[in-house]
Amino acid sequence: NNYIERIQRYISLSRRNSMFFGSHEGARRGAILYSIAISCKLNGINLFEYISDVIEKTIEWQPNTPLEKYRDLLPDRWKKQ
């Protein structure tokens, strides 16, 4: 029960801060980043290390990069690498 309450706390904070995104598209992007951050937290991953590694790996990828390569960078899969 405490676990769920902690997760809901982060959702409440996000909802309060989301009015500063400026647009619906900004809010959508913010929600994606927030989701990744929470996923890192739940998987015991340092967010800064994760983001740094993902940027380093994807910086030279082409627009036609297969989706599976992106899926491998999701926090749960990234942790297994």
Domain ranges of the chain: 2-80
Q: What is the pLDDT of residue 19?
A: 66
Structure-block tokens of residue 11:
């959702």
pLDDT digits 0-9 by tens, 42-62: 899 999 999 999 999 999 999
Measure the CA–CA gap between 25 and 27, rounded to whole angstroms. 5
pTM of the model: 0.72
Q: Give 29-65 as a DSSP string.
A: HHHHHHHHHHHHHHTT--HHHHHHHHHHHHTT--TT-
Structure-block tokens of residue 27:
């809010």
